[in-house]
Structure 1
Amino acid sequence: MARRFFRLSGVPDDEAQEVRALLEDAQIEYFETTAGFLHLSVPAIWLVQDEDLERAIHLLQAYQQQRQQQAQQDTSPRLSFWQRAAFEPLRTAGILLAVMAVALLGLLPMLLLFWR
């Protein structure tokens, strides 16, 4: 009986591809399910043989530790809001205008009642 091994919802494409490659390198038979047309199903990687589950879990744990170490070593600078706004002024202005428009639409009924 097939066993769900790895849920794919919310997983970056590169990580999903690396998990597939991990299983293929270990010659573990698997198949995938998608969320389907109405997104009612579970996108996941399933193992065909129950006997492969324990070995696959150990491989996945080692992979995730390696991925975590790589993420911790990533020292790329994080931009603050003001730095990002300086790099993308039109995008920042558009976002601020959209936020103000939504706030105005939300407050409009109260403002109309207040001014009567």
Structure 2
Amino acid sequence: MPVLLMHLRDVPEDELEEVRALLEAEGVDFYETRPSMWGVSGGGIWLPDDADEAEEARARALLERYQAERSRRMRELRAAGHRESPWREHPLRSLAALLGLLIMLGLVTVPFLLLGR
């Protein structure tokens, strides 16, 4: 019976490419099913019928290490993004944008407030 290694629902394309490359580089025999057109099936990466338990354990260990490393990288990128936030780099521009949004919101709501009188 085939073994599902990874669901592909909501998996970014770059992560999928990295997982494919990892499994191919490590010589893991796998196949992929694509998500269905109507979203019933999310697709997945599978080990074939003839994969033994040792191969499954090795593939799962590879994926666990990859996902831990990817998680660490994404946390670092997110932290770097917070430090390099455009709000912090250009506070006056950010304040001007916020003020512009408030003015537009006020202009849109004034007619409704006047109609209620």
How would you bin the TM-score normalised by the shorter chain? 0.5 to 0.7
- Residue 53 of structure 1 deviates from its aligned partner by 1.2
Partners of 1:60 and 1:16 lie apart in 2 by 11
- Over the residues paired in the alignment, what is the CA RMSD in angstroms? 3.4
Match of 2:65 in 1: 62
Q: Which runs of 5+ in 2 are unaligned?
A: none
Residue correspondence of structure 1 range 43-54 to structure 2 within 5 A: 43-48=43-48, 49-51=50-52, 52-54=55-57
SS of structure 1 residue aligned to 2:9 = coil
Match of 2:31 in 1: 31
Residue correspondence of structure 1 range 1-116 to structure 2 within 5 A: 1-48=1-48, 49-51=50-52, 52-74=55-77, 75-78=79-82, 79=85, 86=93
Partners of 1:21 and 1:67 lie apart in 2 by 14
- Residue 24 of structure 1 deviates from its aligned partner by 0.5
Percent of pairs with identical residues: 28
Which aligned runs of 4 or more in structure 1 are off by greater than 4 angstroms? 80-84
Count of aligned pairs between the two proteins? 101
Q: Which runs of 5+ in 1 are unaligned?
A: none
- TM-score normalised over the length of structure 2: 0.63
Partners of 1:77 and 1:34 lie apart in 2 by 32
